[in-house]
Amino acid sequence: MEIKKVAVLGAGLMGHGIAQVAAQTAKYEVYMRDIKPEFLDNGMKMINDSLQRFLKKGEISEAEVAQVLNRIHPTLDMKEAVADADLIIEAVPENPELKKNVLAEVDKYVKPEAFIVSNTSSISITELASAIHQPEKFAGMHFFNPPQLMKLVEIVRGAKTADETVNVIVEVTKRMSKESVLVKKDVAGFVVNRILIPALNEAVTLLDEDVAEPEDIDKAVKLGLNWPMGPLTLLDNIGLDTTLAIAEVMQKELGSKYTPSLRLKEMVKAGLLGRKSGKGFYDWKK
């Protein structure tokens, strides 16, 4: 089955970027759905800002910017978004119950031949698939932040995911000019976060133990491990709340070595979430 129309559920940090890639690179018609007008407005603003950056770099033309924006249809109506979509990409916040409720609503309107994927970074694909009637047509399609620039997509098999579903998602990933890795087992954290979350948590623990200053922890990892940015800067970019949510899922599924540090929990409680709140390990208001 050829994918022509895509629905992206969620216009936030990941959703707007996925919608942009689907419209700009893959040239799909995209319905971007969220629950409040201001969320959609903010999503469209972020897409426009990103397109303007591509324009300034000379990577796209004014005409192409207009074409991309014409392909994206923001909507508050779930039925309008998914009823005619060939592929539905769920990109709502990292909360299992919220995701399952959204997927159950999708299931009411979706056409039987459509495929559904979740952009979850840690939640069980098998568990999420239990919310829909055709779990064989469901998989994980985990993009990385920002989706407009990051090349990787993790494609995750649930217990009932069909080979056809995996093949379709691999083709969609290619059309988006991304590289995919197939995660054969539905394990918490998949491949990247399984390695990354303990590393980020350890960086926070080093800070907690007053081993080094934030700038030096970041500098050590950038220069010593050749990361493009240090772990504390990366945490501020991902969002401390998002990282904590992933760590807690992994702790529950995989055991105590994924226990989030006390400082991470305290910073989230204090609303120090990184860039999105203006302050995390660094002050982003400057």
Residues annotated catalytic, as ranges: 142
Q: Checking phi first, is residue 239 left (phi over 0); if not, alpha (psi -120 to 50) or beta?
A: left
Residue with tokens 């990787």: 152
Instruction: Count the Cβ atoms, other than its own, within 10 Å of residue 141.
Output: 25
CA nearest neighbour of 74 among 37, 24, 25? 37
For 43, how many CA atoms within 13 A lie in the half-sphere containing its CB? 31
How many other β-carbons are positioned within 10 Å of the β-carbon of residue 205?
15
CA proximity to 55, closest of 129, 121, 148, 122: 148
Query: Exposure pattern of 262-280 as b/e (b: 16+ CB <10 Å)?
Result: ebbbebbeeebbbbbbebb
Number of other CB atoms surrounding residue 145 within 10 Å = 16
- Judge whether 12 and 61 are in contact, CB under 8 Å: no
Sheet containing strand 179-183, edge to edge, reads: 72-75, 29-33, 5-9, 87-90, 115-118, 138-143, 152-156, 179-183
